[in-house]
């Protein structure tokens, strides 16, 4: 339901909390924002504003090795300079605070516990070397190595207090096709054990992996549509399995096209050392 036109016709009518659009802007502060981020966040912002909905700003600073406070502050400044605003976030607060993932660890751990009690996650203390040695196949989608099923325990024992200082993986059911509708490009389907396999939900550093943190937050913050880059399509399939295991309803999905560097033809990314969105960051 597109609320925008209805709400304009009768502004005195409050939007129903169950149908009002809630979007989010969720940067990872591991570098300065580039034009690819700006394109995605602008789309997220515009879709929320066009629907007369609200938008949450969430700082995804979960990775202690890669994230820095200066990048967190810089992302807020840079997006404000682009004219974006939001209704809830680390710089303004709101009913779903805190908005920095590093301050929400207990919430993620509680969800890890729920998954461990169900016996759908297992400890996976294997080193990268062991995984590489045992690996047999690569994802048909992005060629990344699939986690070898030989390293999965034969039986997963449910437990009430998962050790937060070892990695935990979600057991992906074999032979399933995970389908979802992307609002922009239509239906996508991914096959378990061909396109992706058991994935990390918790890291040995005592923090959740991206897939778990983002699902817990999008659910807790009542996000109705996730807008993000097309490079995360496979993650959407993984996250749908987590929603399923937790008995939560997934949001709608909108994956934006990736922005390419006109000179190199590569997609913009921090690892490709893309130019920052605002030139004054070059000397920082």
Shortest distance in whole angstroms from residue 228 CB to ligand GLU: 3
Q: Which stretch binds ligand GLU (CB under 6 A): 12-20, 24-32, 45-53, 194-202?
A: 24-32
Q: Which of 20, 22, 23, 27: binder of ligand GLU (CB under 6 A)?
A: 27
Q: Which of 22, 28, 45, 57: binder of ligand GLU (CB under 6 A)?
A: 28
Count CB-CB contacts under 10 A for residue 189.
10
* Alpha carbon distance 144, 231 (integer Å): 13
**55 or 214, CB closer to ligand GLU?**
214
**59 or 195, CB closer to ligand GLU?**
59
Q: Which of 20, 21, 22, 26: binder of ligand GLU (CB under 6 A)?
A: 26
Residue 88 DSSP one-character state: B
Q: Which stretch binds ligand GLU (CB under 6 A): 25-33, 89-97, 112-120, 160-168?
A: 25-33
What is Dmax (Cα atoms) for the chain? 64
Tokens of 207: 């923090």
Shortest distance in whole angstroms from residue 170 CB to ligand GLU: 16
Tokens of 253: 């999905």
Tokens of 284: 């920082």
Count CB-CB contacts under 10 A for residue 12.
5
Shortest distance in whole angstroms from residue 28 CB to ligand GLU: 4
Q: Which of 60, 61, 88, 211: binder of ligand GLU (CB under 6 A)?
A: 60
Based on the shown chain and the rule CB under 6 A, indicate whether residue 198 belongs to the binding site for ligand GLU: no
* Alpha carbon distance 42, 24 (integer Å): 11
Q: Which stretch binds ligand GLU (CB under 6 A): 20-28, 121-129, 138-146, 260-268?
A: 20-28
Based on the shown chain and the rule CB under 6 A, indicate whether residue 228 belongs to the binding site for ligand GLU: yes
Based on the shown chain and the rule CB under 6 A, indicate whether residue 54 belongs to the binding site for ligand GLU: no
Based on the shown chain and the rule CB under 6 A, indicate whether residue 48 belongs to the binding site for ligand GLU: no
Is the sign of the CA dihedral 210, 212, 215, 221 positive or negative? negative
Q: Residues 6 or more apart from 26 whose CB is under 8 A from it?
A: 57, 58, 59, 60, 214, 217, 228
Separation in Å, CA 42 to CA 1, 182, 236, 252 = 22, 18, 20, 18
**List of residues contacting ligand GLU (CB under 6 A):** 26-28, 60, 214, 228, 232
């Amino acid at each position: 339901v597109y609320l925008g036109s209805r709400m304009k016709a009768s502004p005195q009518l409050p939007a129903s909390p169950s149908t009002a659009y809630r979007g989010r802007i969720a940067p990872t502060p591991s570098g300065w924002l580039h034009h690819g981020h700006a394109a995605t966040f602008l789309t997220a912002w515009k879709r929320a504003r066009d629907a007369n909905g609200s938008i949450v700003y969430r700082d995804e600073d979960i990775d202690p090795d890669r994230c820095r406070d200066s990048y967190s502050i810089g992302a807020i400044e840079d997006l404000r300079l682009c004219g974006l605003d939001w209704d809830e976030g680390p710089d303004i607060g709101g009913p779903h605070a805190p908005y920095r993932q590093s301050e929400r660890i207990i919430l993620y751990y509680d969800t890890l516990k729920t998954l461990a009690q169900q016996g759908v996650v297992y400890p996976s203390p294997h080193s990268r070397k062991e995984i590489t040695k045992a690996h047999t196949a690569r994802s048909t989608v992005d060629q990344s190595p699939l986690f070898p099923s030989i390293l999965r325990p034969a039986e997963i024992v449910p437990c009430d207090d998962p050790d937060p200082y070892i990695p935990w993986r979600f057991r992906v059911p074999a032979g399933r096709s995970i389908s979802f509708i992307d609002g922009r490009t239509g239906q996508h389907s991914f096959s378990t054990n061909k396109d992706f396999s058991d994935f990390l939900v918790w890291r040995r550093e005592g923090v959740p992996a991206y897939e778990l943190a983002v699902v817990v937050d999008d659910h807790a913050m009542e996000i109705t549509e996730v807008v993000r880059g097309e490079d995360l399509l496979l993650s959407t399939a993984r996250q749908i399995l987590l929603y399923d295991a937790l008995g939560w309803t997934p949001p709608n999905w909108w994956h934006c096209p990736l922005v390419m560097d006109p000179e190199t033809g590569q997609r913009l990314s921090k690892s490709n050392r893309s130019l920052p969105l605002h030139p004054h960051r070059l000397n920082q």
